Amino acid sequence: MLRLSGERLTVVYRIRADSEAEAHARARDVCYEQTVEVPEDLPMREDIRAHVVGRIERLGPIGPAAFEAVISYAVEVVGPELPQLLNVVFGNVSLKHGIRVEAIEFPDGLLRHFRGPRFGLTGLREALGVWGRPLLGTALKPMGISPREMAELAYEMARAGIDLIKDDHGIADPPFCPFRERVPRCVEAVERANRETGRRAIYLPNVTAPADRVFERAELARRAGAGGLLLSPGLTGLDTLRALAGDDSIALPLMAHPAFLGGFLGSPESGIAPGVLLGQLLRLAGADATIFPNYGGRFAAFTREVCRAIAEATVRPMGSVRPIFPVPAGGMTLERVPEMVGVYGTEAVFLIGGALLRQRHRLAEAVRELYRAMGVPGPSA
């Protein structure tokens, strides 16, 4: 006889169906598919059917041929491991058409197994010593430049007043810009700028790497003096982010990049809502800041509403899991900064790549304009 706590994880699915009856059948299918994975009519111990099989809590229409099913799962079926949590939420049903994860509610009994972000909003601000304004970030690119050129760019960005200076996510360990060479150079460049400005900009090298190398690179970066790390959990697996955030010997702020995760965001009828995936789940996994394509940029699927939902998920109460920074990015221009402040407020990182490179000949001036656009005095140095 199973003895379970009674605590349950709740998932809201959007289900495509032509009738309430079909929606109900599909929702029941989700309950079985995500747990016992046998046909409903198969003989089964009664306690398993009662406690292990998912449970429909609510079901109702939300639009033409669209229903919302609220389904709960016993915490013991789901947790406390992140891969299994992802599996129960969306493992097999990801393979079915017309089922989308719209929301997840985590019970405390599950949340207490997750440490979440080590720094979060407040911790990252403390590390930088910056309060009362959005943070500014940029990416070191284009791929193809040498470690020396990259370090020079990092220096210029830190000197001009950028707070978070990250590797471009596409630069992992290419032969023309090896990790081991560029990381100490860029750290040194940003430290040199910091000595000159009195500020505390940080460099975040990209530790997205093979499964057996991520921690080695993170440790190299930490020893070199990097102030944070960049990871693409879509490429490494989300749990690698969790393991990295939980590693007390690394203990650096983590910025998550959404590369490859777009696979889950390609259709309004399937996949996982961006607020859940890039907001809730990456936060649960331990990102201190989550990058996502800003609306009006070059990623058309990310509307203002989608971006707001992601930002909202970064701060929504979630047990003891800290709030984190939303990081709108992708084709951000200097002119849009006032609008961005209106949408995201001050608790955001504005990640500006190409537009700053375009102003490289007058970078200090361009960044002063950014500060003015945020309604704050320019960088102090």
Alpha carbons 368 and 317: distance in angstroms, whole number: 35
Question: Which DSSP helix (H) or strand (E) runs through 355?
Answer: helix 354-358
Q: Catalytic annotation on 166? A: no
C-alpha distances in Å from residue 193, one per residue of 163, 190, 199: 11, 5, 8
Partnered with residue 229 across adjacent β-strands are 254
- Least distance between a copy of itself and beta carbon 364 (Å): 19
Q: Catalytic annotation on 257? A: yes
Q: Which is nearer to a copy of itself, 341 or 363 (CB)?
A: 363
Alpha carbons 87 and 55: distance in angstroms, whole number: 16
Overall residue count recorded for the chain in this entry: 381
Q: Which is nearer to a copy of itself, 142 or 345 (CB)?
A: 142
- Least distance between a copy of itself and beta carbon 202 (Å): 21
Q: What does the angle CA 117 – CA 121 – CA 127 come to, to the nearest 5 degrees?
A: 95
Given the residues 51, 141, 166, 169, select the one marked as catalytic.
Answer: 141
- Least distance between a copy of itself and beta carbon 214 (Å): 8
Alpha carbons 120 and 287: distance in angstroms, whole number: 8
Name the residue among 202, 205, 215, 212 with its Cα closest to residue 178: 205
Q: Which is nearer to a copy of itself, 166 or 199 (CB)?
A: 166
Q: Cβ(288)–Cβ(315) under 8 Å? A: no
The sign of the torsion formed by the CA atoms of 356, 362, 364, 370 equals negative
Given the residues 97, 169, 257, 361, select the one marked as catalytic.
Answer: 257
- Least distance between a copy of itself and beta carbon 66 (Å): 15
C-alpha distances in Å from residue 264, one per residue of 35, 208, 267, 341, 366: 21, 19, 8, 28, 36
- Least distance between a copy of itself and beta carbon 188 (Å): 23
The sign of the torsion formed by the CA atoms of 136, 142, 148, 153 equals negative
Alpha carbons 102 and 97: distance in angstroms, whole number: 15
Q: Which residues are catalytic?
A: 141, 257
